[in-house]
């Protein structure tokens, strides 16, 4: 139980308190302790994620190699701008799953897309990939991926929303607005897109517009709690 409590402490430091340095310090002593295979994997996967958040990509890559998680190992190379080297890992991933997201991701980042990713692959991966590319400052790869959003919308109508939300949360407001507006045009009855447009307007202190967007969200979905809470944060003069 004590072992698991350290893992939980590290999770809390990393995910809730946003303190990867302390989270890493909690996990490091666990690496050489006796444990079950499941506990060992949990520690190593969490540590690799923490290292990646600190841009320690080579250290994370070594952990993923040891875990034989070849997709994530190649992902670390991608985040370092070494896309031309990822095939040594992603090729092994594709031997196990020939329709893995990595084949589409490689095509998106190189502007050589020759596959059709699935609706669920776009939902599960695109938003986090955008956030990770921004954090790693791989802006050329980011631009290449974003150039395919219109195409991806034919597969998943939420694609512009996913892109806009990731860009907004990363502070890329100018880019975010265009995709959020595209998301609203694509799914005009989606309450979530109006909530995000409200968030966007709040971030820019456009409070009147934020109020309009949030009220539209609640008009479509009266029980949408995040919109209600954000409305309460608006200045009274809005």
C-alpha to C-alpha distance for 44 and 67, rounded to whole angstroms: 8
| Buried-state track 195-229, b at ≥16 Cβ within 10 A, e below 16 | bbbbbbbbeeeebebbbbbbebbbebeeebeebee
Domain residue ranges in the chain:
99-165
Q: At what angle do helices 70-79 and 127-135 cross, to 10 degrees?
A: 50
Q: What is the pTM of this model?
A: 0.93
Report residue 97 as tokens: 């799953």
As given in the structure block, the two tokens for residue 84 are 């031309």
pLDDT at 4 (0 to 100): 80
Q: What is the pLDDT of residue 36?
A: 81
Q: How far is CA 185 from CA 67, 196, 197, 209, 212, in A?
A: 43, 14, 12, 17, 16
pLDDT given at position 237: 61
Give me the pLDDT at residue 238, please.
Answer: 62
Say which residue the tokens 């892109």 belong to.
163
CA angle 178, 128, 98 (to 5 degrees): 115
Burial of residue 57 (number of CB atoms within 10 Å: 0-12, 13-18, 19+): buried
The pLDDT tens digits along the chain (238 residues) read: 467 888 899 999 999 999 999 999 999 988 877 678 888 888 999 999 999 999 999 999 999 999 999 999 999 999 999 999 999 999 999 999 999 999 999 999 999 999 999 999 999 999 999 999 999 999 999 999 999 999 999 999 999 999 999 999 999 999 999 999 999 999 999 999 999 999 999 999 999 999 999 999 999 999 999 999 999 999 976 6
CB 228 within 8 A of CB 208: no
């Amino acid at each position: 139980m004590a072992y698991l409590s350290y893992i939980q402490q590290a999770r809390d430091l990393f995910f809730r308190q946003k303190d990867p340095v302390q989270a890493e310090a909690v996990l490091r002593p666990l690496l050489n302790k006796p444990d079950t295979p499941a506990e060992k994997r949990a520690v190593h996967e969490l540590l690799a994620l923490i290292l990646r958040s600190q841009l320690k990509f080579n250290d994370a890559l070594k952990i993923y190699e040891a875990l034989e998680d070849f997709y994530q190992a190649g992902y670390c190379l991608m985040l370092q701008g070494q896309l031309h080297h990822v095939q040594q890992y992603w090729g092994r991933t594709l031997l196990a799953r020939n329709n893995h997201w990595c084949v589409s991701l490689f095509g998106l980042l190189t502007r050589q897309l020759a596959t059709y990713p699935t609706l669920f692959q776009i939902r599960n991966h695109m938003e986090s990939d955008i956030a990770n590319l921004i954090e790693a400052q791989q802006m050329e790869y980011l631009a290449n991926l974003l150039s395919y959003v219109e195409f991806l919308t034919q597969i998943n109508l939420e694609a512009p929303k996913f892109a806009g939300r990731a860009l907004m949360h990363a502070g890329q407001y100018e880019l975010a607005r265009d995709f959020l507006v595209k998301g609203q045009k694509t799914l005009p009855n989606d309450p979530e897109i109006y909530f995000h447009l409200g968030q966007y307007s709040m971030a820019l202190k456009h409070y009147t517009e934020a109020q309009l967007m949030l009220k539209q969200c609640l008009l479509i979905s009266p029980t949408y709690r995040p919109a209600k809470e954000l409305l309460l944060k608006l200045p009274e003069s809005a």
